[in-house]
Amino acid sequence: MPRTVITFGTFDVFHVGHLRVLERAAALGDRLVVGVSADALNERKKGRVPVFSQRERLAIVAALRVVDEVFVEESLELKRDYLVEHAADVLVMGDDWAGKFDDLGDICEVVYLPRTPAISTTAIIEHIAEL
Ligand code: C2G
């Protein structure tokens, strides 16, 4: 049976920190599925409308060599349903979420990966705004 890895994120203004986490997630199994968070979810939970629409963010993530499948993450509370639906063996999250998804350990392995230092969508937006 192939080992399916699943991860989630907004992946707005795609940068090398996003690429690295997806590469490391893919290396933990045979197949990588990515839940790209919906525009409405970002607006609701983060109070910011992404620079790129969910359609554009999905297209970018889907085009990556390490990504096998993408879907829209409509709600943060549906993680368990998404894991079951995609038959995930491993859930990968950035370590800014450390401990938050340990309860899903009953249906899959839960791995938190360290973030790539010194790069973020917010920092990029601020950098560009200052040019
Ligand atoms: N990331 C990273 N290094 C950075 C920036 C981001 O490793 N310097 C990782 C994050 O840890 C995450 C992924 O890139 O695993 C996507 O980051 P975000 O778009 O900020 O998504 P996030 O807010 O973590 O997820 O269910 C989760 C939600 O969809 C939101």
User: Which residue lies with its CA nearest to atom 14 of ligand 1?
Assistant: 18
Q: Is the pLDDT of residue 1 over 90?
A: no
Q: Is 21 in the pocket of ligand 1 (CB under 6 A)?
A: yes
What is the rounded average pLDDT for all residues in the chain?
A: 96
pLDDT at residue number 2: 93
Please choose, from the candidates 8, 11, 9, the residue with its C-alpha nearest in 3D space to the C-alpha of residue 124: 11
Q: Is the pLDDT of residue 46 over 90?
A: no
Q: How many CB atoms lie within 10 A of CB 92?
A: 26
pLDDT at residue number 129: 93
Query: How many A from CA of 1 to the centre of ligand 1?
Result: 28
Please choose, from the candidates 110, 11, 116, the residue with its C-alpha nearest in 3D space to the C-alpha of residue 67: 11
pTM for the predicted model, two decimal places: 0.96
Q: Is the pLDDT of residue 35 over 90?
A: yes
Dump pLDDT digits (tens) for 97-122: 999 999 999 999 999 999 999 999 99
Domain boundaries, the chain: 4-130
Strand partners, 125: none
pLDDT at residue number 18: 98
SS (H, E, C) 75-115: CHHHHHHHHHHCCCCEEEEEHHHCCCCHHHHHCCEEEEECC
| Domain made up of 4-130: CATH architecture | 3-Layer(aba) Sandwich (3.40)
What percentage of the chain carries pLDDT values higher than 90?
95
CA angle centred on 84, ends 58 and 35, rounded to 5°: 15
Query: How many A from CA of 131 to the centre of ligand 1?
Result: 25
Ligand 1 mutation target, pool 13, 20, 21, 23, most atoms within 8 A of CB: 21
